[in-house]
Structure 1
């Protein structure tokens, strides 16, 4: 009977369970071992490789050809949907001064503390949204209730959400209790005005009936037939003294709320932030509610001892969508199993997972190419703009030619580049825009890259066809992003408040033809500098494939062939292909030199 987890079993696929395909050493039972294991057997067991490898069997295990379990992976999330709640304000206090020989002193209740705010800030050192994706709900501190002796409540604690640089923040939903209260207040005021109008009409009718001699009974009937008075508009915003009797509560007359100034204004809907640079200071997302007023604010000649205070404001609630676009200088784009992760290992000190199966990379990897580690001369010296000329000539109509001297200033010339970053995204397959494979959502991480590097496997068929297929998916993604941006701009013009406050009044409306909608072009990605990295160039039979690829790129540069994306005005200045053998580390230095040329230009 074969073992249940035999290495030859077809149930455990090698790309899902690579460690099950390794030959494990037999461990003798305790008590029956007669001699320690020899060094030969240990070396043989340590050099076992997976059975899934077909092309790398003769290559020794190294950093560029590691075993399947030699990789480093970190928690990563490039999308998160969170709910933020600002802190509500604390209630005001109802208190009176009590001292010896002063039983009923004046009001001395303190105000409630303001609620905490919610901020967001893009900082260095963060490279993932997985912490926020787990947290989901973020609450600011609530303001404390006021106390006696005119002691105000403590302010709620602010919350600062730290996100990686390159995060895009979009507002999905907003629930502002103050907007709802304003609508309810206007409705209650309308009912109150209608009731006051009925009371005035009843009084006029009763007075007229008395003058006509109808009698007091008829006048009394007219006043009794009035409907029940509506509730006071701001009754729910007050806190009443707990020692009041029901009769006092019923007959209590509440004043109008005083107007108050806000220290933090609520951001206008809808929020859309593109945090492409580090934020020097936190950005306000949701402002906390105002604290309630203590009873000393309502002292008057007719009301020396007010038995009420106001409640703190309820705070706003928002639902936000965070999307991370990694800010890398170079973005690797390629088909699955093209050697992108091996190439990243060869160029940087990254420990990306490497395997001889498709979709080894399931999340983006970031590597840094260090050009100058301050230990001797730099590996590759970046070109920096030369110094400006010491003088310039200005031709003036009155004074003729005038020579102006340009004195160099300290810190004027930029420092040469010391490093650049590379983003390796999961592989794309044909039809990825139809959500095949892992889709094209990962292309957002190379959307902001300065240079695109298309990694083509010379041993996997026609390289020109593979390049065109990749550019097709990239172009479709670019058009999709342009459509989303256009829809967002359209939604910002909608009057979400519904009161018409943002509409122009008093102006003539002229009928006109609508502006033509521009077709999405995808130029914002096609206009980037790009080149091709032809991997696995050490394998036999790849010379002819590389020759065809080189001829095609030369034709694109000379204008004889269109850009692979078929986008007008795309970048075709100097399309090059660099053959490399990433697993041997051969030819990768030319990638660094050529990348620096494109970045500096």
Structure 2
């Protein structure tokens, strides 16, 4: 199935039915009085998060969703039937925004989360509501309200704890294959990854986290170059970013420090909030460096990179192709995520204080 993570649709809830202005007209009951019923409410449109759906492809082909109108009221105190509601099932992680105002209308971040997107119109009142001691034969009635309508954009942001960031061919897909059961396409040419991939990384019998691999960035991505910038939104929900760097590039003219710094620059240009997330360095392809030269290569890169970017976070040398160094990495990630989940314990300054009289 083609991966679709954006769509635009039109939703229109049903209008309310009109109230009726009728009177009882029965033999031997000359003063029957009003008996017009209310109109039914219009059908509303709801959105529901469904973890069994992985793409927005259905909303690329069906773009209009219009709720059913409520029935009009009738005589003999008959109330109109309400219109049926519409429930739109979408992938978990879908964000729904008003196309005209940009306002976020719904964020489906949890399975089975159900949100009213467009409310159906209220039914009109029949003339039985207007009867009074001074108005014995009311002919007033009201029409039903119109249902809400919106043009909305749908944007799927995958839910992952850890996001992989880096140049094409930095080894992101290889890493996610090495530490999880995900099997993204891996090849020895750039741009192998064309859409986000998710993998569950199991650290123990009852411990795991979700890792996301997105298409690689290139310099100039924030200005529209390459594929990766389109998918950076998938990293906005992540809690830790792993910046993969090819420490042993095949191209002799490549400069890993310059390239790594450029990726951070693109991240800042695209979304400063994303750039502020915890970001760890992962120095990949260690297997391509002779064992006796590895530490020197790592030290040389880190010294230059820290000088160029003021980076002071952790660095993990790995060889994703054979799994070398990946265990310390995933254990460190699990520990960091658990630390983020722990509630802060406020200092009880007065707990052990006593007052002398």
What whole-Å deviation, never above 9, does each CA across 1:385-418 have from its counterpart, x for those lacking one? Answer: xxxxxxxxxxxxxxxxxxxxxxxxxxxxxxxxx1
Contact persistence 1:463–1:545 (CA under 8 A): no
Contact 1:537 1:579 in 2 (8 A): yes
2:85 corresponding residue in structure 1: 158
* Residues 1:107 and 1:114: Cα distance change in structure 2 (over 3 Å): same
Q: CA deviation at 1:549?
A: 4.4
Say if 1:331 and 1:453, in contact at 8 Å, map to a contact too: yes
Which residue, 311, 314, 317 being the options, matches 1:575? 314
Q: Which residue of 2 aligns with 1:293?
A: 125
Deviation by residue 1:540-569 (Cα, 9 ceiling, x = unmatched): 569768744443425666xxx2426xxxxx
- SS of residue paired to 2:288: coil
> Does residue 350 of the first structure (1) align with residue 182 of the second (2)?
yes
CA 1:456/1:91 → structure 2, altered by over 3 Å: closer, same or farther? same
Structure with higher Rg: it is 1
Q: Which runs of 5+ in 2 are unaligned?
A: 340-357
Question: Mind listing any 5+ residue stretches in structure 1 that lack a counterpart?
Answer: 1-73, 174-268, 375-417, 479-521, 565-571
C-alpha separation in 1, matches of 2:30 and 2:295: 99
Question: Is residue 119 from structure 1 mapped to residue 46 from structure 2 by the alignment?
Answer: yes
* Structure 1 residues 542 and 447: CA distance shift in structure 2, 3 A: farther
**SS of residue paired to 2:78:** coil
Q: CA 1:443–1:546 in 2, change beyond 3 Å: closer, same or farther?
A: farther
Residue 139 of structure 1 corresponds to: 66
Report the equivalent of 1:25. Answer: none
Q: Tell me what 1:466 maps to.
A: 259
- What is the deviation of 1:327? 2.5
Q: Partner of 1:337: helix, strand, or coil?
A: coil
Give the Cα–Cα distance (whole angstroms) in 2 for the partners of residues 302 and 446 of structure 1: 67
Shift of 1:452: 1.2
Partner of 2:326: 588
Q: Per residue, is there more strand in 1 or in 2?
A: 2
1:375-524 aligned within 5 A: 418-457=207-246, 458-460=248-250, 461-478=254-271, 522=272, 524=273
Of 24, 29, 34, 1:107 maps to: 34
CA distance in 2, matches of 1:597, 1:129: 34
Contact 1:121 1:278 in 2 (8 A): no
1:466-513 per-position Cα deviation (integer Å, ceiling 9, x unaligned): 2112112112112xxxxxxxxxxxxxxxxxxxxxxxxxxxxxxxxxxx
- In 2: Cα distance, 1:579 partner to 1:424 partner: 17
- Corresponding residue SS for 2:280: strand
Deviations 1:236-257 (A, max 9, x none): xxxxxxxxxxxxxxxxxxxxxx
Root-mean-square deviation (CA), in Å? 3.2
- Find out whether 1:87 has 2:14 as its counterpart: yes
**Normalised by the size of structure 2, how large is the TM-score?**
0.80
Alignment correspondent of 1:527: 276
Deviation at residue 348 of structure 1 after TM alignment: 1.0
Aligned length: 335
CA displacement 1:445-481 (0-9 Å, x = unmatched): 1123221112223234332222112112112112xxx
